[in-house]
Amino acid sequence: MKYKLNEKVINIPDKDIKNLMEALELSEEEAIETWLSDNDYISDETVEELTTKAKENRITATIHEAKAETAKKERKPREKKENLVKKQVINAIFAGLSENLPENVEITITNDEKYIDFIMNGIEFTVNLVQHRAKKTH
């Protein structure tokens, strides 16, 4: 539908007018006026008034601030559970390496449940102990 507004021809989709008429139970003139208002061709005094009141009261700012505060959640510090079996295995591997490698090899436990590092002939090595989870049976 072509609508003339102040010497300007505006093309309004017929589908939009029908949707407004059905959804809001408006007459064709009211639907056209609503469409023009929604698409900023004309201004509606009520909408303008409510917008200025909302800006004065900072309603939208309060809403956005409330969202920002709820989005930031503090995480609980993770408590590391001690795994005695892995400690025993790392200590056994450390003892075995200490006994079987030459004396000039520097061996250190960097994590008492996971890593042993050593340097032999200028080359760095890391032993990484990985515990696998039990397989699920269905």
| pLDDT at residue number 68 | 52
- The whole-number pLDDT of residue 69 equals 52
Residue 130 pLDDT: 93
All residues at 6 or more sequence positions from 20 whose CB lies less than 8 Å from its CB, including other chains: 26, 31, 34, 35
Q: Please give the pLDDT value at position 61.
A: 66
**Positions of the chain with pLDDT lower than 70, given as ranges:** 58-72
- What pLDDT sits at residue 18? 86
CA distances from residue 70 to 18, 64, 76, 121 in whole angstroms, order as listed: 41, 10, 16, 56
97 close to 118: Cβ distance less than 8 angstroms: yes
Q: What pTM was estimated for this model as a whole?
A: 0.44
Q: d(Cα 129, Cα 137) in Å, to the nearest integer?
A: 25
Angle between helices 59-71 and 45-57 (to 10 degrees): 50
Q: Where are the domains of the chain?
A: 2-71, 84-128
Alpha helices (runs of H) in the chain, residue ranges in sequence order: 14-24, 28-38, 45-57, 59-71, 84-100
